[in-house]
DNA sequence: CTCTTGCATCGACACCTGTCAATCTAATCG
DNA sequence: CGATTAGATTGACAGGTGTCGATGCAAGAG
């Protein structure tokens, strides 16, 4: 998984030419925040966090988005390591990635 | 706009049709996170937070970006309320918005 | 005053992103 | 088996975003 808020830059003595936040870490952090920089994904996260577990079919309605669009967003959140889906039978059950639960709650302002 | 207070008031118990996070709030949150979803802006924030106060001219070098680009990013962070610049003489001195200091530290993972 | 300088704005460009219709895949049901 | 269904993938399109060069503008420097 990529560097999230928990993985910090441990740069000791950076001159003014270098930011305390290294370029690579900045890219990783930006990638994580980009994942939650979308209203649909925030509400999607909120729905999953509140319900504990939801399948994609239960997301289309509340979000008011088409199936491909929901799939697109779940993939982005999944790639960011914020949610994880396990396929049971015909449905994919999405849940908040336990390791990122605190981060997600923080993000949602809870 | 979209369905907000009017449609929400109709139903008593927000079923799955409504997210715990309202549409308007989601948009606002997303806008804030979008402001920090860029490597350049994260390092810019990092530089200002570390130095306490910096002028735009001191940012171009470390960031490796042109003057218009730096101005572009400072404006976005400023609009998001994360930094504030006061013009003293010929320079604009940027500092982290005091009210958002904790949030910024959180964002930078400090 | 004129010249210089720090910064904002504009215009243009390439790239990324959110969205949906159509299609494909895999798993269940009859 | 074929029919159905949940979900992923593809293709296409509109709109957003990061970047820089050129220009504008206000405020010190001379």
pLDDT of residue A74: 98
What average pLDDT does the segment B51-65 reach? Answer: 95
Cβ contact A40 with chain D strand, < 7 A: no
Class of the CATH domain delimited by A23-107: mainly alpha
Would the CB atoms of A39 and B30 count as touching at under 8 Å?
yes
Among the listed ranges A2-6, A19-23, A101-105, which one has the minimum average pLDDT value?
A2-6
How high is the pLDDT of residue A18? 60
Those residues with Cβ within 8 angstroms of residue A15's Cβ, 6 or more apart along the chain or in another chain: none
> For residue A70, which residues of chain B lie inside 8 Å, CB to CB?
none
Question: Is A12's pLDDT higher than 60?
Answer: no
Report CB contact under 8 Å: B26, A40.
yes
Quick one: pLDDT at residue A109? Answer: 86
> Could you tell me the pLDDT band of residue A20, with boundaries at 50, 70 and 90?
confident
Nearest to B23 by CA among A63, A52, A60: A63
Q: What pLDDT does residue B18 have?
A: 61
Interatomic CA distance for residues B110 and A57, integer angstroms: 38
User: A-chain residues within 8 Å CB-CB of B58?
Assistant: 16
B31 touches strand C (CB under 7 A): no
Q: Which pLDDT value is given to residue A110?
A: 78
Closest CA to A41 of A81, A76, A90, A87: A76
Q: Is the distance between the Cβ of B92 and the closest atom of strand C smaller than 7 Å? A: yes
List phi, psi (to 5°) of B84.
Answer: -140, 140
Indicate if the pLDDT at residue A83 is higher than 80.
yes
Torsion sign over Cα B46, A110, B34, B86: negative
**Which architecture does CATH list for B22-107?**
Orthogonal Bundle (1.10)
């Amino acid at each position: 998984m990529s560097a999230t808020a928990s993985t910090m830059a441990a740069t000791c003595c950076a001159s003014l030419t270098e930011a305390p936040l290294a370029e690579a870490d900045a890219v990783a952090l930006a990638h994580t925040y980009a994942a939650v920089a979308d209203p649909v994904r925030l509400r999607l996260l909120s729905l999953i966090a509140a319900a504990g577990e939801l399948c994609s079919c239960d997301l289309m309605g509340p979000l008011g988005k088409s199936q491909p669009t929901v799939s697109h967003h779940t993939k982005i959140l999944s790639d960011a390591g914020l949610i994880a889906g396990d396929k049971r039978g015909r449905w994919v059950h999405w849940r908040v990635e336990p390791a990122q639960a605190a981060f997600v709650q923080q993000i949602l302002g809870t």
